[in-house]
Chain A
Amino acid sequence: MELRERLAFTPERIEEAVQRLREEGLLAEGVVVSTCNRTELYGLRGTAPVEGDPLQALAAFVADFHGVPRGEVEAAGFRHMGADAVRHLFRVASGLESLALGEHQILGQVREAFRFASNAGLTRNVLNRLFQKALEAGKRVRNETSLNSRPISIPGVAIELAQKIYEDLAPRRFLILGAGETSSIFYDLLLARGAKHIEVVNRTFERAQALCARGGQAYPWEELAARLPKADVVVSATASTEPVIRKDEVHRAVAQRRGQPLFFLDLGIPRNVDPQVGDLDNAFLYAVDDLQEIAERNRQERQREIVPAMAILEEELEDFLAWFGSLAVVPTITALRRKFEAIRAAEFDAALEKLSHIPPQDRERIRLMAQSMVRSLLRRPTEALKEEKDPALRLERAEAAKFLFDLDPDGKA
């Protein structure tokens, strides 16, 4: 955790780091994905000759940049190159590399990282395409699999359950019993979910008041029985060793609720709510064990979705690599076009010298016709070079084109 914090990039530091990497020729383009859980540097190799492993040079740069011993970064980090690096980014974007498997916030974080790098001019053709593909892949995984459809955290499961009783939680009345850490977590969660009516009951009234500092109403413990019929959801997390809510109390509360259900989340260990409450009509009781069991089941469901998710990522990977591979033949295609265009221009000028009697508009027509012919002639060879999926065959074709037309892809002319 500590190392991750030391290696984290602020936006200003990202720009500075990538600019330096570009100046040193280590990278031509770069994006840094820096979240609370990961710091990853994606780059396209620059023009500078690097002795040894270029990835090691990058790791050394990152270590030096943050003032962290190189050995620590070497030991804790990981490196990927080529297709593996692309696959890794796709896995990250789709949540397969997240601690909470399949969580979708990472897609937004990757999008933000890319947007920042793009706005700062740190990306060009290749990383633009790569990150767009990664975002597409992440979206596809989210839409086409159930990887993210069920919550896997205890609070997430609790909220999902509550929303299966009351779809809209915002106008519902929440009663929190206890003012400890768990109560505080749920208080924050409910506020974040837009809950407007939160009541806290605690044996130490001052602690209930302190918890309600950002909203809600604190009540002394003696008010519990009176508050119970008014609540829609009761979150109980007291340190009591005996149940603080008994079946007969709930029975009376439910009878006053005009048919409205009452949902209990018993997060106390040992239990705060009499287990028999769950047998009552219109009362629902879930304890920590139940929530854990559901979370575990959801986790297993997510595990089963990894295979279909990977199939989607491999499709996207193949697509990206085909495009990336086609970049290798771009100089050859450019040289080919240049050559044909030069021939056309020379022949056209020579012919026009001999045909000086032709009016200007007809000359223009002839020029356009010649250009069109060149385009038509080049269409098929261009496609053959670009669209070939086999990289070896693609390079072979590029070499053949160079030989047949005497091309110099690196030449200026």
Chain B
Amino acid sequence: MVVSLLLSGLALLLYLGAEAFSIAHLRREKAAHGIAAKVMLGTGFLVHFLALEIGGRITHTVPYRDWSASMSLFAWMVAGSYGILRLRHRESSTGPFLLPVAILFLAVSLATQPAHPLPPDPRLTGSEFAFHVTLAILGYAAFTLSFVLAQLYLIQLHQLHKRKIGLLFSRLPALDVLSRMHHTSIGIGVVSIGVATILGFIRADTNWATVWDPKVFVTLLLIAVYVLCLLAGRLFSWSGRRIAWLSIGGYFLMLFSYTIVNLFITQEHVFR
């Protein structure tokens, strides 16, 4: 576990470096800073993967058994999703706003390391369960990025409407780019959560008394909200502002599902 911990610490440092260079690039737009940020993010992502891989080999599971491990996996997914967004849209100026999510969760993971890894839980084994949880975490990571992107969209929109044409305005991407990035991250999230839910149904069908747990209802509602985000512009001519607010609402629904529903409402989604 020591090696895994050291690699996680190194990944955190690399993410911090990527963040620092991203901020420098945002301020001055020097190509060297952009390249340094990209290299550090890529290296951090690989080192983080090694840390998770080594940790997983020791516990013989995907790292979701304890809070710390799942936070680390979440941070890795955030970094990966951001990397995909960056490559897909060739846009780096959102880095200073998106990378802190990965940094925060990895730091929390490192700060809450358990003294000893929890023993494997026989209820939480099997490949479809591993995929179910991994994809769910990827979905949450993508929705987290879409939450930040929706806010950036609203900030840029506000600056345009109020004529606040400053440095941040000139450095943030255009509204259409932010909108496309927002859609991509929601798309990743919807597909991931959708597949995770199907896998969950398959497993629940054989293990639970009923598949219709409150968590399932909230998740389906969450998917519906995000699907609406993807389609509302085309179908109902919704403005970007309205879609951004809906996406922010969806994120709060996700937090509700992750906290209140998981802790107090669900009957079957309890693995403590």
Chain A contact residues, CB within 8 Å of chain B: 143-144, 146, 149-150, 160-161, 163-167, 254-261, 278, 281-282, 284, 286, 290, 293-294, 297-298
Q: A259 and B239 in contact (CB under 8 A), knowing A161-B160, A297-B165?
A: yes
The distance from the CB of B161 to the nearest CB of chain A, in whole angstroms, is 7
Question: Would you call A165 and B242 a contact (CB within 8 A)?
Answer: no
| A-contacting 9-mer, from B117-125, B169-177, B189-197, B206-214 | B169-177
Which residues from chain A contact B173 at a C-beta distance below 8 Å?
Answer: 167
Q: Are A167 and B163 in contact (CB under 8 A)?
A: no
Report how far A200 CA is from B167 CA in the complex, Å: 34
Indicate whether B30 reaches chain A with its CB closer than 8 angstroms.
Answer: yes
Tell me if B's interface is mostly helix, strand, loop or mixed. helix
Q: Are B165 and A294 in contact (CB under 8 A)?
A: yes
Nearest neighbor of B169 in chain A, beta-carbon distance: A164
CB contacts (< 8 Å) of A256 on chain B: these are 237
A149 to B26, CA, bound (A): 12
CB distance from A252 to the nearest CB of B (A): 11
> Interface range on chain B: under 10, 10 to 19, 20 to 34, or 35 or more?
20 to 34
Contacts A143-B30, A161-B160, A164-B175 known; A281 to B170 CB distance under 8 Å?
A: no
What are 23 A-B pairs at a CB distance below 8 A? A144-B28, A149-B170, A160-B170, A164-B160, A164-B169, A164-B175, A165-B160, A165-B174, A166-B174, A254-B239, A256-B237, A257-B237, A259-B238, A259-B239, A259-B243, A261-B175, A261-B239, A278-B161, A282-B239, A286-B163, A290-B163, A294-B163, A297-B165
Contacts of B169 in A (CB 8 A): 164
Q: CB-CB < 8 A to A261: which residues of B?
A: 175-176, 239-240
Query: Top 4 nearest A-B pairs by Cβ distance?
Result: A259-B233, A167-B174, A282-B239, A281-B239
Listed in ascending order, the chain B residues whose CB lies under 8 Å from chain A are 28-30, 156, 160-161, 163, 165, 167, 169-170, 173-177, 232-234, 237-243
Chain B: minimal CB distance from A221 (Å):
27
- C-alpha gap A161/B161 in the complex (Å): 11
CA distance A144 to B175 in the complex (A): 27
Cβ-defined contact, A281 with B242, below 8 A: yes
Most A CB within 10 A of own CB, among B28, B176, B233: B176
- Complex: A290 Cα to B164 Cα, angstroms: 11
Alpha-carbon gap, A281 to B232, bound state (A) = 15
A298's closest neighbor in chain B, by CB? B165
The smallest C-beta distance from B182 to any residue of chain A, in angstroms, reads 12
Candidates B165, B234, B241; contact of A281 at CB < 8 Å: B241
Complex contacts, A254 vs chain B, CB 8 Å = 237, 239
Q: How far is the CA of A255 from the CA of B239 in the complex (A)?
A: 9
A264 → chain B, closest Cβ, in Å? Answer: 12
Closest-CB distance, B171 to chain A (whole angstroms) = 9
Contact partners of A286 in chain B: CB under 8 A: 163
The chain A residue with its CB closest to the CB of B241 is: A281
The residue of chain B having its C-beta at the shortest distance from the C-beta of A284 within the complex is: B160
Chain A residues within an 8 Å CB radius of B29: 149
- Give the chain A neighbours of B237 by CB distance below 8 A: 254-259
Which residues in A have their C-beta under 8 angstroms from that of B242? 281
Contacts of B167 in A (CB 8 A): 146
Q: A143-B28, A144-B28, A167-B174 are in contact. List 4 more A-B contacts (CB 8 A).
A: A149-B170, A160-B170, A254-B237, A257-B237
A160 to B166, CA, bound (A): 12
Given A144-B28, A161-B160, A165-B160, decide whether A259 and B175 contact each other with a Cβ distance below 8 A.
no
Cβ of A298: which chain B residues have Cβ within 8 Å of it?
165
CA A146 – CA B232 in complex, angstroms? 40
CA distance A236 to B166 in the complex (A): 25
Bound-complex Cα distance A130 to B76 (A): 51
B170 interface neighbour in A143, A144, A150, A260, Cβ under 8 Å? A150
A-chain residues with CB within 8 Å of residue B238 when the two chains form the complex: 259
Please tell me if the beta carbons of B240 and A282 are within 8 angstroms of each other in the complex.
yes
List of B residues within 8 angstroms of A143 by Cβ: 28, 30
Name the one of A144, A163, A258 contacting B234, with C-beta atoms under 8 angstroms. Answer: A258
Task: Report the separation of the CA atoms of residues A76 and B28 in the bound assembly, to the nearest whole angstrom.
Answer: 38
Return A353 CB to nearest CB of chain B, in Å.
62
Q: Which of B174, B234, B240, B241 contacts A164 (CB 8 A)?
A: B174
Q: Which residue of the partner chain B has the closest CB to A285? A: B161
Q: Bound complex: CA of A161 vs CA of B233, how far in Å? A: 22
Contact A163 B30, CB 8 Å, known A254-B237, A255-B237, A290-B163:
no
**Please, how many angstroms separate the alpha-carbon atoms of A254 and B238 in the complex?**
10
B43–chain A nearest beta-carbon distance, Å:
26
| Nearest CB on A from B28, distance (A) | 7
Residues of B within 8 A of A161 (CB): 160, 165
Cα–Cα distance between A12 and B142 once the two chains are bound (Å): 62
Q: Among B28, B173, B175, B241, find the residue whose CB has the most chain A CB atoms closer than 10 A.
A: B175
CA of A297 to CA of B170 in the docked complex: distance in angstroms?
13
Cβ–Cβ < 8 Å partners of B30 in chain A: 143
- The answer on a CB contact under 8 Å between A259 and B240 is yes
Q: Which residues of B contact A259 (CB under 8 A)?
A: 232-234, 237-240, 243
